[in-house]
Amino acid sequence: MSMTGRVALVTGGGHGIGRATVAALRAKGALVAAADVDLAAARAVADDTDGVLAVRLDVTDRSSVDAGIARCVEHFGRLDCLVSTAGGDRETPEFAEMSDDDWSAAYELNLLGVVRCVRAAVPHLGEGGSVVVVGSVNGLAAWGSEPYSVAKAGLGVLVQNLAASYGPRGVRVNLVAPGTIRTRVWDGQGGPDRLAPMYPLGRVGEPADVANAVAFLASPDAGWITGVTLPVDGGVSTGPIHLLRDRW
């Protein structure tokens, strides 16, 4: 189904998965606010694509979130969909050496940042509205980086509760959990392709792989889907059996 006439705001819309999601939603006909703490990147997206508004939005700052959502509504006159892609990990020491600040930073960006955005958006969402949160397979199984993983795991329960709370208003809330995606976070780390053998489909993901799943869940095509976590992970969450077959 088309999203013509609908308005979406994408956090993290200046880079990677967020930028690809802006393109996917725009291709479905939605008007889109590309919201990013990196305003120059958001403006580059808007300059490349008609029907896109660049908005500065820092998910760790409530006033910035509120102002960014308000700017979108002021410009387009409405808000029908929130896509929360902003997040990220940072290098931390071994678990026993982690500080409270290491944990707090992960929560601020990856969990509370989503809370702030949804809290600001839901007053504008009515019947047919949707929220799609981008989490990680780190929130589904033990992949290391404990603060980041725990924050991402919290998103699953958050989405279920929000789906139950706002379903009677006709608002759907879902979560996408990507595996390894080819984004700028791999710059200087030798690239993500060294992890391809872990994936049954034989490759790591591209931003568009996630964006297409997000656009589906955001659209009326998924009109009876809410409260779910959809892994978009090339099959890695199925387990390591494909790596063991040659040993049998």
Query: Is residue 1 assigned to a domain?
Result: no
Amino acid sitting at position 198: M
Residue 244: its pLDDT value, please? 64
Q: Structurally, how many domains does the chain consist of?
A: 1
Residue 77 lies in a domain: yes
Q: Note whether residue 194 is domain-resident.
A: no
Q: What's the pLDDT score for residue 208?
A: 98
In this prediction, residue 185 carries a pLDDT of 80
3-state secondary structure 124-161: HCCCCCEEEEECCHHHCCCCCCHHHHHHHHHHHHHHHH
What is the tens place of the pLDDT at every residue in 47-74? 999 999 999 999 999 999 999 999 999 9
User: What local confidence, expressed as pLDDT, does residue 187 receive?
Assistant: 75
User: Of 197 and 243, which is predicted with more confidence?
Assistant: 197
Selected residue with higher pLDDT from 31 and 142: 31
For CA atoms 89, 33, 174, 231, give the dihedral sign: negative
In the predicted model, is pLDDT for residue 221 greater than 60? yes
- What's the domain range around 221? 7-178+210-247
Please report, for the domain that includes residue 131, its CATH number. 3.40.50.720
Alpha-carbon distance of 101 to 122, in angstroms, equals 30
Answering whether pTM is above 0.85, one says: yes
Mean pLDDT across the stretch 199-220? 96
Q: What is the DSSP letter of 42?
A: H
Point out the residues that are catalytic.
148, 152
Q: In the chain, what is the straight-line distance between the N-terminal and C-terminal CA atoms, in Å?
A: 46
When the pLDDT of each residue in the chain is averaged and rounded to a whole number, the result is 94
In a domain, 202, yes or no: no
The answer to whether position 132 is within a domain reads yes
Residue 185 lies in a domain: no
pLDDT score at 239: 79
Q: Please determine, for residue 242, whether its predicted confidence score (pLDDT) is greater than 90.
A: no
* 160 within domain boundaries: yes
The answer to whether 187 and 225 have CB atoms below 8 angstroms apart is no
102-138 pLDDT tens trace: 999 999 999 999 999 999 999 999 999 999 999 999 9
Task: Specify the higher pLDDT residue, 247 or 4.
Answer: 4
